[in-house]
Structure 1
C-alpha cells in the first residue's frame, strides 16, 4: 500500500483485520462448515448438535454470513459451493488444517512486541506444540504444498534426473508430484522419524510407495553417508527456520550429496535484497522471529551466495506464479 493510501480508515482496517481471521478460525475449529455439509440449518439446530449456546452461535453464524463464508436464507444457514470444497473435512480439497495452524500461531503474534525487543522467540514452535497443534502443522503443510506442487513440478526441469533427495520434505508432497511429472524419477524423503507414519500414509494414498521412500533424518544434527548420492536435491521451506550459519550448513550438506552436474533446488519465501518486500516474506520473517531462535526469510542474494560457497554454479531463479513471493532457486554442482 503506497503512502497516499494510508489514512485513519485504512490504518484501522488493517489493525482490525484479525477480527476476520479469528472468525474464520472459530468457524473451522467448531466444525461449523463440516456440520452443515449440504444441509440448511438454523442456529438452534446447530447449537443442539454441538451442545452450544444458540445466541452465541447465532452471532457467529451471522458474522460468517456477512463475510460470505456462509449463505443465510431466512433463519437457516448453509455452505456456499466453495465452503463445501475447502472448509468441510470430507472434501479432498479441505484446507482447514493450515487455517488451524494459523490459529495456533495467534498466541505468539500477540506477544510480538516481546519477541522484537528481545530478538528471541516467545515460544519454540517445535517444543511447544501439543498433539492437536502438531497435527494441524503437518496436515497444514500438506494443504499448502498440495496447492503449489503441481505448478512447481511444471516449472522445474527434472527430466535428466533419476534420483531426488527431498530434504526435510515432511509427507513428501513435492517428491510425489515430481515423480508423477517425471516417470524416470525415484525420490527419498529425509525427515524426522516422527514424521514417517504421516509421510507413509500420504505416499501410499498417492500409490507411490514403489518410487518414494522415507529415511529418518535430522538435517541439522545428522550427516549423510558416502552412499547418499542424488541427481537432484529439493529443499522446500526448511531454511527459513534456521540461522544463516545453519542454513549455509544445510545447503553444503545437500550439495555434497549431488553427483557432478546435479541440481540443488531451494524453494522459499524470498525477500528482495532491501528486505522490505515482498510483503508476505517480510511478515513471515516476523512469524519466524516469534517462534524460532534464529529463523527468518532470506533474500535471493543471500541464498545465492550460500549456494556459491557450496560449489554450485549457474544459479538462477525460477518463478512459477506464486502470489506470496515464493520461488525456486536452482544451482548446478560443478
Structure 2
C-alpha cells in the first residue's frame, strides 16, 4: 500500500532498512486532489454512481461471462435481465473502460480480464465486495462525528452478528496482502529465524508465505479471537498446521508479552487502530520479545505530522474513523479526549461505563500505565473513556481520578469542581498513574475535596499502577472488586426517589414459587440435594414426591420411571463466591459426581470474563445439569436483593 512498507530494526545497533515500495493496486497515492471547476465538484459528487455499477457487475459475475465476446441479448438471457436494460448496462461498462464492444459482442478489456474474473489468480473481487458491504455506512458519517460510543454498524459490533461481512473483510485483507508477500518472504532476516510472532497477523497469509519459503520457521499469529477461523483456514491451505498456530491476544496487554521470545516479531498493519501513546507502548512491548540479533519488522501505513500526506493515508484515516471505533486515524496526533478501550460488545450490552479524568495531559509513562487497566476493562465488557473534560460525557457508572506528578494543584481543583455533578451518587476511585508518592497531591486532601464536591461513593482501595510493573492478574482482581462496588452504587442510584407505595406494589408482584425435579430414586436425590447444596427436607406429597427447601425457595422431587432432560436444560443456583468455590471443591472431591462444561471454558470451577462471576456445572444423580454461580456485574446493578449482599 502507499505510504506502507516493511521497516526493520535489529535488536543490536538499531540499524534500519526500508524495503522498496511494492507495486500495488493504488496509484498516485501521494497526490492531494486538486479541484479546478464546478464540473469537478459535480463529478466528485457523482462518483458513487460508477462504484455502484462496478459493484453490481461484479456481484453478478458479468466479467466471467465476457471473457469471450458475447451478445447483449445472450448475456441478458443468461443473467435474467430485460434485454434492452441489459444493453444499456453493458454500454455503461464500455464507457467506464471495463469492457469493449466489437461486432462479435461485449468482451473484457485486459484490466478486467486480469483482476475482475473470479478464477484469475489476481482477482480482487473480495476487496470490492468488502467495499460494497460498507456502502450503507457512509451516509451515517454524521452519526460517527457526533458519537463517542461504538455504533452498531462499525466493525467491532457488526462482525459479531454479520458473518458475511466478517468473511468479506478477511478475504479482502488476504487480497490486500498479496503485493507485500514477495517483498516480505524474501527478506534475508528470515533465513536463520526459527520462531516468528506475527502481531495482528489476522488471516495469517504473511506468516504462511514466510514459513513456506523458510522451512525452519515456526510461528504464531497473535490477534483477537474473531480472526482465529481465518488464520486456521490459511494454515490448512498451506499445509502448515504443524508449524504455525494462533493465539487470541489483546496486543496492549503487556503482561502477555512476559517470557516470550522470537527471532522476528512482526507488527502487521495495525498501528492505525491506536493512539500515539499506545503505538509507543505496543512497539516497546514487541521489541522486548526480540532475541539478540533478531529483528522487529513493522508494516504500517504512515500519516505525516500534518495529517494530510500522503493523501491516501489521510483518506484511510477517515475510513478507519467511520468503520471502526478505534483511534480514528493512522496513528497521527492523539487528542486529550478519547476512548482508551471500547468494550468487546455492542453499546447496548455494556456492563459498565468507566470515565478516567485527568487534570493535565498524560505523558508517555502515564499512558503506558493505563494500558493494562484498559485491556482488563475491555476484556470484562466495560468501556473506559479517558478525558480532561467532565462536561458532555453523558451518564457514566464510575469515575476514576488519575493522579500524576505533572498535575498542577490548581488544575486538579478546577477538574474536581467541574466533575461534581457528574460524580453525584457515583462510584469514585483514585488511580495513581505516574510519579512518586512524594510528588503527588495529598491523597487525603484529594479524597476529602472530592467527596465534599460530589457526594459520591469512594472506593476505599485506590489502584497504584505508576511503576508500570503491576502484574495483569493484580489489575484484573482489583477491577473485579471495583466493578462490584460500581454496580452496587449504580443500583443505588436507580432506587433514588423510590417511595413506600412503589415498594409495597413491588412486593405484591407474582413471584416464582417452585420447580419440579424428576428422579428414579427419591431417597438418593433427597440425600444429594441435602449434602451438596444444603437443601432441607420439608415433607412428602404422597409416596413418590418430596418437598425440599433451599434458602426460602421450594422445589419438588418426584419419582418417575422414564424421562430424559433435553440438551441445554439446567437449573441455576446463585451463591456467594466463597460458596461456589466450596461446592465446586466438594463435588470434585466426591469423585462420583459428573462435572460438565456448561457455559465455561472446560468442566470445573471457573471465572467469567469480568472476574466477578464464578461458576461450576455438574449433574445430579439423574443427569439434570445444575449450575452453581455467583452474580455477575449485570445482576448486581439490577437486583435489589444482591445490593444487600454487596453493601
Q: Provide the TM-score with structure 1 as the length reference.
A: 0.78
1:297-321 deviation per Cα after TM superposition (whole angstroms, max 9, x unaligned): 12599xxx98xx99xxxxxxxxxxx
Cross-structure match for 2:219: 187
2:94 is equivalent to residue 52 of structure 1: no
2:52 is equivalent to residue 22 of structure 1: yes
Q: Which moved more, 1:102-111 or 1:117-126?
A: 117-126
Question: CA–CA distance in 2 between the matches of 1:18 and 1:128?
Answer: 23
Gap change, CA 1:88 and 1:218, over 3 Å in 2: farther
Q: C-alpha root-mean-square deviation of aligned residues, in Å?
A: 3.3
CA shift for structure 1 position 65 = 1.5
CA shift for structure 1 position 108 = 1.8
Gap change, CA 1:168 and 1:230, over 3 Å in 2: same
CA contact (8 A) 1:271 1:300 kept: no
Out of 42, 46, 53, the position equivalent to 1:12 is 42
CA contact (8 A) 1:273 1:299 kept: yes
**SS of corresponding position for 1:38:** coil
**SS of corresponding position for 2:156:** coil
Gap change, CA 1:32 and 1:223, over 3 Å in 2: farther
Out of 148, 153, 157, the position equivalent to 1:127 is 157
Gap change, CA 1:226 and 1:118, over 3 Å in 2: closer
Cross-structure match for 1:319: none
2:116 is equivalent to residue 90 of structure 1: no
Cross-structure match for 1:76: 105
Gaps in structure 2 of 5+ consecutive residues? 1-30, 335-362, 369-647
More helix by percentage: 1
CA shift for structure 1 position 212 = 2.8
- Write out aligned runs for 1:254-269 (5 A): 254-269=286-301
2:256 is equivalent to residue 224 of structure 1: yes
Gaps in structure 1 of 5+ consecutive residues? 311-334
CA shift for structure 1 position 66 = 1.3
CA shift for structure 1 position 97 = 0.2
**SS of corresponding position for 1:57:** helix
**SS of corresponding position for 2:302:** strand
Q: Provide the TM-score with structure 2 as the length reference.
A: 0.43
CA shift for structure 1 position 143 = 0.3
CA contact (8 A) 1:61 1:77 kept: yes
1:122-168 deviation per Cα after TM superposition (whole angstroms, max 9, x unaligned): 53213214222112100000000012221244457334532111112
Question: CA–CA distance in 1 between the matches of 2:73 and 2:186?
Answer: 48
Question: CA–CA distance in 1 between the matches of 2:231 and 2:32?
Answer: 43
1:27-72 deviation per Cα after TM superposition (whole angstroms, max 9, x unaligned): 11222123x0633333333333333333443322211111221222
Gap change, CA 1:66 and 1:4, over 3 Å in 2: closer
Cross-structure match for 2:330: 297
Q: How many residues align?
A: 305
CA shift for structure 1 position 170 = 1.7
**Larger Rg computed on CA atoms:** 2
